[in-house]
Amino acid sequence: MKARYEQNIDSDQKPGSVTFQKVRNRTEEICSQLAAEDAVAQPIEDVSPPKWHLGHTTWFFENFVLKPDVEDYREFHPSYNFLFNSYYNSQGDRVNRGHRGAQTRPRLREVREYRKYVDLHMARYLESGSLTKKQERTLSVGLNHEEQHQELLITDSKYILSQNHVDSGFLSAPLIQPIQKEQALISIEEGLVEIGASGDGFCFDNECPMHKVYQAAANIYRRPVLQGEYLEFINDGGYEDPLLWLSDGWAWRQENNVRHPLYWRWEKDQWSEYSCAGTIPWRANAPVAHLSYYEAEAYAQWAGARLCTEVERELIDDELRTDQQLWEWTSSPYTPYPGFAPWEGALGEYNGKFMVNQMVLRGGSVATSPGHYRPSYRNFFHPDKQWQFTGLRLAKK
């Protein structure tokens, strides 16, 4: 289908546009909690300005849907491909990731005009006829991609606001909630198991193919590690004992003088924690969050336990759905499944090229968009990253 239509769009949306607009609206709802000044800050390279997220998620649909599939489509601005491309080498040059916050132009209102322009053209595109399977997949990838950036908007905004001298959050209450349940074990039997996505519904290419692996018998703790438990590790000198740490982790801890989880604050002889609602009293029974893989691994060593593998975490996912609050570091490196094939074309840059030097996380988090997560979902980050909603669950050795 190569759609053609006039540039002045004014028509009611059909059902095909409802899901698209619902996703787009949620992004705007998240950003509505921020001031215009919040939208342009970039304290560290990992954190992108909210204004950039608004532009980048729009660029995806303009670049991968409208430009190739709509005849005579006129791009909104010739510089936006350079400004809002993220890591797609096939799509040309781009702003250095760490310099996104230095781009004060376009203004926030102009980025919102860009979103409106693309949304209007996407609405007509979705009404113009049936999509091919390739076009349907690209649209699904774009919607799931935007939901990923909705989570990033929350995590990045939390970090941005945490840097202010004036204490302020952007939500009315903390996202992470205390856990009241007692600890227990989930047993996994030995044998061949099947993991991964079948491909029947939407999934990312890194979740495929479904395949069989041998699983040893294992016992996994039902409840994640809590802040009170993690404080025992700190008080016992866990951050000072190199024997607990991986070599790279110990070098990272020393170089960055890390002595506690991100967002814990020691003030007036007591701990507090920074949340999306601002600074709140420290809670012993809340799951410990914003840990690096290095910290999670060191704690597991101290506790005489180990981290789950990603296979184990997938096998018990259904039993944990109602209690899940944090992405959990696993001991599994981010590598391709046997028979993995990246998507064809530019979308092949989405996952496969990052399969080195990163660790797999499972479980979803309180910042994950509703309906976005599934048991086969493979999140991944470098082992030093803390700013995501990351925690840990232990397995018995």
Q: What is the pTM of this model?
A: 0.95
DSSP letters, 119-166, are HHHHHHHHHSSPPPHHHHHHHHHHHHHHHHHHHHHHHHHHHHHHT-SS
Token pair belonging to 362: 């499972």
Report how far apart, in Å, the C-alpha atoms of 296 and of each of 120, 278, 299 are: 45, 25, 5
Rg of the chain over Cα atoms, rounded to whole angstroms, equals 22
Rounded CA-CA distance 261/299 in Å is 12
Report how far apart, in Å, the C-alpha atoms of 44 and of each of 4, 62, 367 are: 42, 28, 20
> How many Cβ atoms sit within 10 Å of the Cβ of residue 374?
15
For residue 60, which of 156, 180, 148 has the smallest C-alpha distance? 148
In sequence order, the β-bridge partners of residue 395 are: 220, 306
For residue 166, which of 278, 18, 76 has the smallest C-alpha distance? 278
Question: What pLDDT does 128 receive?
Answer: 86
Identify the helix (H) or strand (E) that includes residue 186.
strand 185-188
Identify the helix (H) or strand (E) that includes residue 187.
strand 185-188
CA dihedral 224, 381, 169, 231 (to 10 degrees): 40
Token pair belonging to 155: 């995590």
DSSP state of 342: P
Question: What pLDDT does 16 receive?
Answer: 60
Q: What residues contact residue 97 under an 8 Å CB cut-off, 6+ apart?
A: 45, 48, 86
Q: What residues contact residue 272 under an 8 Å CB cut-off, 6+ apart?
A: 264, 265, 279, 280, 281, 282
Helices (H), the chain: 15-31, 50-61, 67-69, 80-84, 108-127, 133-162, 227-235, 247-256, 293-302, 310-315, 317-320
DSSP state of 46: T
Rounded CA-CA distance 286/265 in Å is 15
Going from the first residue of the chain to its last (397 residues), give the mean pLDDT of each consecutive group of 10, the final group possibly shorter: 37 61 97 97 98 98 97 97 97 98 98 98 92 93 98 98 97 97 96 93 96 98 98 98 98 98 96 98 98 99 98 97 94 98 95 97 97 97 98 97
> Hey, what domains does the chain have and what are their CATH numbers?
3-162 (1.20.120), 185-396 (3.90.1580.10)
The pLDDT tens digits for 133-192 are 999 999 999 999 999 999 999 999 999 999 999 999 999 999 999 999 999 999 999 999
CA 263-265-269 angle, to 5 degrees, is 165
